[in-house]
Structure 1
Amino acid sequence: MGNEHLDFLRYPIGRFAPPDSISEKELKVWIAALEVFPSRLSNLVCDLSDVQLNTPYRNGGWTVRQVVHHLSDSHHNSYMRFKWALTEDTPQIKVYDEKAWAALEDSVSGPIDLSLEHLEAVHKKLVYLLQRVDRAVLKKGFLHPESGFTTLEENVGRYVWHGNHHYAHIERLLEARGWTG
């Protein structure tokens, strides 16, 4: 398998590339996407069997179950980053070992409903917050130890991308296996 094919499997919608500037309209579209993402994901995975949930989306990749749990974990961490940046002056965030978290028993064998319900709650809280903060406040941000400064408005787009990125992993697996509709 060539590097281009592997890159396509790893990044089916491409890598996140933040725009140079973020318009009010784009921000509203992103917030709306965050609002509906949990239900989109739930609709995609809710009827999958344990065999399907335990299938990796690519060779060497996480299982569908692990991807669902990762989305919950990651978006929870993102929500915390928003809260820190809104209440502190450019905080340096703590990164977490995604692979290690995905290898924990709750991610390997836990019911996906736990993470689907958690993701729904986290997104409802985040969307509620984002719809009510002054746009200027979203210029605040945090320091990521590896990637540097990120504004909150950019982080909104990053997590829309992140959800769609993993959604595409699952969707492509389902299509490739003939497990759709």
Structure 2
Amino acid sequence: MDAVATELLQLVHAFSDRLREIPEHDFTHKPLPARWSKKEILGHLCDSAHNNLRRFICAQYENIPPNIVYDQDQWVALQGYQQVPREELILLWKLLNNRIAHLIGNMPSQRYTLTCNTGKGSASLHSLEWLASDYIRHLKHHLNQIFPGAL
């Protein structure tokens, strides 16, 4: 998990300033009415961080694997990310990911196999170690949507 935590911090450090450099029009432009803008993608990454932070915490102390389901379209719509000031959104993304990196980087190795139910289909019970690796994969996927070919 140390490697995942380190990679997460490196990604946040590398992309925080780049997010500030995106022209406002490009940041808020929606390619289609039903598609997210780059700003909403960043908002989605904040929502994902919220939900995964909760998974990483709750799975370590609950006796039964917690069931933490995330409806991404509802969260993005209800959060209204198009109206959130850019700097606030970038700071939120950075701080949430710093917390995740701290948490997983300090997690005792015997807890890596604890599980959480993400509620996504029949194979929805995942170890914390798997969730951490998947979180990085997911983050890179969306950073590549914001910055095509960056990763």
Report TM bin, short chain.
Answer: 0.7 to 0.9
Letter in 2 for 1:148: S
Alpha-carbon distance in structure 1 between the residues aligned to 2:12 and 2:86: 12
**Alignment deviations for residues 28-72 of structure 1 (CA, whole Å, 9 cap, x no partner):** 332211122222232221022221111236785210110111111
Q: Identify the match of residue 85 of structure 1 among 53, 59, 68.
A: 59
Q: How does 1:60-99 map to 2 (within 5 A)?
A: 60-99=34-73
Aligned-residue identity in percent: 20
Q: What is the aligned partner in structure 2 of residue 151 from structure 1?
A: 127
* Among 53, 58, 83, the residue aligned to 1:109: 83
* TM-superposition CA deviations, 1:103-127 (whole Å, max 9, x none): 2353122113222212222222222
Q: How many residues in Structure 1 have an aligned counterpart in Structure 2?
A: 148
CA contact (8 A) 1:102 1:108 kept: no
- Corresponding position: 1:168 with 2:144: yes
The alignment's C-alpha RMSD in Å is 2.3
Could you tell me which runs of 5 or more consecutive residues in structure 2 were left unpaired when the two chains were aligned: none
Give the match's secondary structure for 2:36. Answer: coil
Matched, 1:35 2:16: no
Give me the whole-angstrom Cα distance separating, in 1, the residues matched to 2:136 and 2:72. Answer: 18
Deviation at 1:95, TM superposition (A): 1.5
1:65/1:109 contact within 8 Å kept: no
Determine if the alignment matches structure 1 residue 136 to structure 2 residue 136: no
Structure 1 spans left out of the alignment, 5+ residues: 1-26, 175-181
Instruction: Give TM-score, length-normalised by structure 2.
Output: 0.85
**Structure showing greater Rg:** 1
Taking a change above 3 Å as real, the CA distance of residues 105 and 136 of structure 1, as seen in their structure-2 partners, is closer
SS of match in other structure, 1:133: coil
